[in-house]
Chains A and B, each alone.
Chain A
Amino acid sequence: MGVIGYGLGVIGAGLAIGLAAFGATSAMARQPEVQGRAFTVFILASAFTEALGLIGFVVTLIS
């Protein structure tokens, strides 16, 4: 049961990481000179959203 809950919860995190990647790639395509800065921001944003998915993973394992 917990595994199904984790699967449902990770949908949000997956969508969020996808959105972050979408934003980063389109920003890089429009303005290649901001590539370095955009990549750093993308890594930061995906670290935040990834943490949400991982919280679900750990809670599933512990409970």
Chain B
Amino acid sequence: MDAFAKLPEEINHLVSEFSSAPVVGDLTVGLTQYSFWLLVAAVVFAVVIFAFVKKQTLVPKGVFVNGVEYLIEYVENDVAKGVVGTGWRRHFPFLAAIFLFILVNNFIGLIPGMKPGTGAIGCTAALALVTFVYFVYYGCKKHGVLGYIKSLAPQGVMFPMNVFVWVIEVFSLLLRPITLAIRLFCNMFAGHIVMGSFSIMAALFAEPLLEHFSAMNAVGALPSVAWLIILLIIYAVELIVAFVQAYVFTVLAAVYIQIAESDEE
């Protein structure tokens, strides 16, 4: 097949397109395509939130106000109240900000031609690092610095095992931001690569038909219909993934905050 011969080259081109490349300046000081769309997402986020605050009335009116309110209440009830429990009010702004920011970024990336700001490892690493510093800070505030370090080991374990468990707990604590960052990045990056490869397949199979119309080429172009259908299904899945990943990130942040603040007796 002619189309399959061209495939690896096109996929390599696609992957190189998706790795961060500077548009303005260079990689140290500059704007990559991801940080450009990150800025766009931040502006969209700010516009939506300020419009929401301005339009807010005692009784919510209209689709827009109700929609944003639904999202925020979703975070409040499902994540803040459900996971953090007592003292959720203090952590609610942080959780809502992280959830909405990731959500806006993921959905911006799904519009064809745009890229998700969260599809670059730098962005997700920054988000995960902020979360890490946040929950360690609140853990230290609650227990004191020494108390927090001690509280990592579970109570009621005999002395020599105690130290061993503590080392493992510290290790898993340090792994948390890394897994948070990599999970979000991989989901966004891989999802877009898969969508890109299926659209490339659809284009490659239909190419001979567009160049020269004949019965042979028309039969050869039939698989591209199947690729298009698969592409649409994957797009629908990606819509769910965009939401689920924002939700997972927020829930995990809430779980970590809850663990850091809990007093194990």
Contact = CB atoms under 8 A, between A and B. Distances in A.
Interface of A: 43-44, 47-48, 50-51, 54-55, 57-58, 61
A44 B248 contact: yes
Tell me whether chain A's interface is mostly helix, strand or loop, or mixed: helix
Contacts of B245: 47
Contacts of A58: 185-186, 189-190
B248 A61 contact: no
A12 B16 CA distance: 28
Nearest to B249: A47
Interface in B140-174: none
A57 B186 contact: yes
A55 B182 contact: yes
B39 interface: no
Contacts of A57: 186, 190, 193
Contacts of B189: 54, 58
Contact of A54 (B187, B244, B251): B187
A44 B251 contact: yes
B248 A54 contact: no
B221 to A, nearest CB: 27
B12 to A, nearest CB: 9
